[in-house]
């Protein structure tokens, strides 16, 4: 069948893309006419497959997700099919595939499931990048976790492949600006420098890009360090939007119905609404316990009353372990708070007087 006939018959590009990714014989034969024979490992695009050590991250606004790009991403293989049918020259085709891989990776970096799936397909099939089924499985897994049906189905065909554990270089953030050191008051009145989170914690937070994006947007409005909010989400729900505890704590920040009502949350299973409620509660607890992160964590887990009763972290195994988990992730004992916003508990006044 001639190429022009294919183009006339499959005029909607999205239909042709669907055929390509479902291994339809007609679409595969069209691609075979322009099969890439050069050694793609020599391309500049192989830099995309390079793995690097994750560094602390602040997610920035994804400039790549413009309306024009997103339109193309509605059908993840549209650009691939267009290139396959347009270019017969191997060198040009390779170069264009590499460019598409770069575009997809930028969108995948900001949590676009279609782009993650398409880039995985490119790694599985060696289009513009070196064939690497481990990286393909990693990308398919990222998309599948967001409910991408084709990614789930394709991932099933790679059941024996262990996904790559280190993120692609193109999925990592740009080098962050120099950290700003903040002097914070400790509970005993002394000052301490605000420490950054560990690289391992940064990698964990960044791997949850969709949630991190919401937290980065909302946290400044509540004067909360995004890393503190992410630490609570990690420990409370392990980033599961639909998490429900035996005590009916709900959503990402595990708000019980009374707390949700207290801070105006109508649907605790909506990520943004839940995070707003959790941030509002953290802001209150930070002001109440004068920025003491351990007491805030204990109160979030066991309740403010329990912390007041025991004049510190309650002697509950669950709460003490919870406080340690938060401390390990956040790496700071203190956090800025709104002074004179709420009345502090009596035992903190006693602490100051005796100190």
Between CA 60 and CA 50 the distance in angstroms is 22
Displacement of CA 74 from its chain's centroid (Å): 20
- Residue 155 makes CB contacts below 8 A (sequence gap 6+) with 137, 140, 141, 144
Active site residue 236: yes
Between CA 344 and CA 341 the distance in angstroms is 9
- Residue 129 makes CB contacts below 8 A (sequence gap 6+) with 40, 43, 45, 46, 48, 49, 97, 98, 101, 122, 123
Between CA 278 and CA 304 the distance in angstroms is 15
Between CA 88 and CA 270 the distance in angstroms is 48
β-bridge partners, 51: 168
Catalytic-role residue among 96, 133, 236, 294: 236
Catalytic residue IDs: 236
């Amino acid at each position: 069948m001639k190429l022009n006939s294919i183009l006339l018959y499959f005029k909607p590009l999205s239909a042709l893309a669907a055929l390509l990714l479902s291994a339809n014989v007609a679409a595969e034969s069209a691609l075979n006419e322009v099969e890439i024979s050069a050694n793609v490992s020599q391309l500049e695009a192989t830099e995309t497959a390079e793995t690097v050590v994750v560094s602390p991250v602040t997610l920035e606004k994804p400039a790549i997700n413009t309306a024009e790009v997103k339109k193309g991403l509605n059908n993840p293989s549209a650009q691939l099919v267009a290139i396959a049918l347009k270019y017969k020259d191997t060198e040009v085709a390779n170069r264009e595939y590499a460019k598409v891989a770069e575009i997809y990776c930028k969108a995948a970096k900001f949590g676009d499931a279609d782009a993650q799936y398409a880039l995985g397909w490119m790694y599985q099939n060696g289009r513009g990048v070196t064939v690497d089924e481990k990286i393909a499985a990693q990308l398919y897994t990222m998309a599948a976790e967001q409910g991408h049906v084709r990614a789930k189905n394709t991932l099933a065909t790679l059941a024996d492949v262990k996904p790559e554990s280190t993120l692609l270089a193109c999925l990592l953030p740009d080098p962050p600006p120099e950290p700003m050191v903040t002097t914070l008051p400790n509970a005993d009145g002394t000052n301490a420098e605000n420490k950054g989170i560990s690289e391992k914690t940064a990698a964990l937070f960044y791997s949850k890009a969709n949630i991190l994006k919401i937290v980065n947007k909302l946290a400044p409005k509540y004067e909360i360090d995004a890393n503190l909010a992410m630490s609570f989400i990690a420990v409370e729900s392990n980033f599961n939007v639909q998490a429900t505890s035996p005590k009916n704590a709900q959503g990402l920040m595990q708000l019980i119905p009374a707390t949700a009502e207290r801070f105006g949350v109508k649907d605790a299973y909506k990520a943004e609404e839940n995070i707003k409620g959790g941030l509002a509660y953290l802001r209150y607890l930070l002001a109440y316990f004068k920025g003491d992160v351990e007491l805030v964590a204990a109160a979030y887990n066991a309740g403010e009353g329990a912390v007041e009763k025991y004049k510190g972290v309650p002697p509950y195994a669950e709460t003490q372990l919870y406080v340690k988990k938060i401390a390990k992730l956040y790496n700071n004992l203190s956090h800025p708070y709104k002074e004179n916003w709420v009345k502090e508990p009596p035992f903190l006044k006693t602490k100051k007087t005796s100190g």
